Amino acid sequence: MTKRSTYDVPRAIDWVGGLDGHAALIDQTLLPGKLEIIECHAPETVWHAIKRLSVRGAPAIGIAAAMGVVLGVRDHDEDDVAGFVTRIRGVCDYLAGARPTAINLFWALDRMRKVGESADELGVSATKQALLAEARRIREEDAAMCRAIGEAGLPLIQDGVAVLTHCNAGGLATAELGTALAPLYLAREAGRKFSVYADETRPLLQGARLTAWELGRAGVDVTLICDNAAGACMAAGRINLVITGADCVAANGDVANKIGTYSVAVLAAAHRIPFYVAAPSSTFALDKPTGAAIPIEERAAAEVRSGFGAMTAPKDVRCFNPAFDVTPARLLTGIITERGIISPVREEGIRELLSASATCPDSCAPS
C-alpha cells in the first residue's frame, strides 16, 4: 500500500507569475469529482468565483479578493495618479459586493486600499508592484497563521479523541492547512490516533465534498454523516470534541459560521461536549459588538430545491436559505487563534489577545 502524505491539499488560491501574471484558484464547485483550476485575469472572474463559491472559506475569499484588486488596476495609465487611487477604491468596492458575511473579504480589501492610497508618494508603477506584494503577503501570512492555529489546537487532539467538524475550514478554505482542520493535520503528523466526523453540510455539501476529500487525502480517519445525525452520534458517545471555523467573530465572541453551526453548538452543550471555533485574527471584527451586527448572506432557493441538479422539492416551494448562522459566545468552550486559545470566550480576553496580534505575530511571520 502506498504511504499517504499527511497534508496533501493543492493550493486553493495562488498568484502565478509577476504583475502580468494571474490568480489561479481551484474550482471548488467541481470537487470531489474534478480538480480544475480557474485562471483569473480580470477582477470580474474573481468576483464571480467568490459569488458562486468556486473559491470559498473566509480566508481564501480574502486572498482571492486581494489578488482581484491587482488584476483590476494593473493596466492603469502610469501618469494618472489621481485616477489610479479612484480606480483602486472602485475595484475594492466592487469586490466587496461579492459576499457579505466573511469578514476576511473586507479586511483584505482594506489592506489593499491602504497600499493603493500610497500612490501619491510612490507613483503608479511602484504602487502596482506594492499591491502585488501585499496580495502575496496576505496569502503567506494566512498560511503562517493557520500553522500557528494548528499548533495552538494540537493539545486538544489526543489519542482516542473523536472530533466533529461542520462545513469546510481546511486547506481549501485558506492558504494552507486550514483553521479547524489545522490541529488535525498536525496531530496526524505527530502520529496521534484520532477520528473525525464530518457533517455533510447542506445545502452545498462542503463537508461531504471538501472536508471528507481533503482529510481522506491526508489519511485521516474520517466518517461522513448527514447533518441531522450529529445529535444521535453525540448521544451515542461517538463524539467528544467539536471544532469549526468562523466567517466572522464579533467583539463579544459571537461567531458567524456556516448554517448549522449553531445547531451543532446547542447539541454539544446539551451533551457537555467541548465546542471550539478556530479563527485567525483576520476573522475578528471588533467594530461589531455582537453577532447581531454580522450580515448574514441569503442564497438562492435553487440551492435547497435542486442542489446539484436533482429536484429534491416541489419546484415552486418557498425556501429560506441563510448561508450562515450566529453561535452565541456562551456556547463556545474556546476560540483557537494563532496566538493561543481564548477560553473562556469574553470580550476582554479577545481584545487583549488581538491587541497583541494586530499584525501577524513574530512566531508566524512569513519568511
Site for ligand MRU in 101-140 (CB under 6 A): 102
**Binding positions for ligand MRU, 247-286, rule CB under 6 A:** 247, 257-258
Binding mask 58-97 for ligand MRU (x = CB under 6 A): xx--------------------------------------
Cell, residue 31: 470537487
The residue assigned the cell 459560521 is 257
With beta carbons less than 8 A apart as the criterion, state whether 111 and 138 touch: yes
Give buried/exposed letters for 30-68 (b at 16+ CB in 10 A, else e): ebeeeeeebebeebebbbebbeebbbbbbbbbbbbbbbb
Q: Which is nearer to ligand MRU, 179 or 240 (CB)?
A: 179
Nearer to ligand MRU among residue 57 and residue 150 (C-beta): 57
Judged by CB under 6 A, which stretch of 115-123, 242-250, 343-351, 358-366 contacts ligand MRU?
Answer: 242-250
User: Which residue, 28 or 357, is less far from ligand MRU as judged by CB?
Assistant: 28
Backbone angles phi, psi at 72, to 5 degrees: -80, -15
What's the CA gap between 185 and 192, in Å, rounded? 10
Q: Which is nearer to ligand MRU, 127 or 257 (CB)?
A: 257
Peptide bond into 10 cis (omega under 30): no
Q: Cβ of residue 326: shortest distance to ligand MRU, in angstroms?
A: 12
The nearest distance, CB 212 to ligand MRU, in angstroms, is 14
Residues 6+ apart with CB under 8 A from 66: 108, 109, 111, 112, 134, 135, 138, 139
Report in angstroms how near the CB of residue 76 gets to ligand MRU at its nearest. 30
What residues are annotated to the active site? 247
Strand partners, 198: 165, 224
Residues found near ligand MRU in the complex (CB under 6 A): 53, 56-59, 102, 167, 169, 173-174, 178-179, 206, 244-247, 257-258, 323
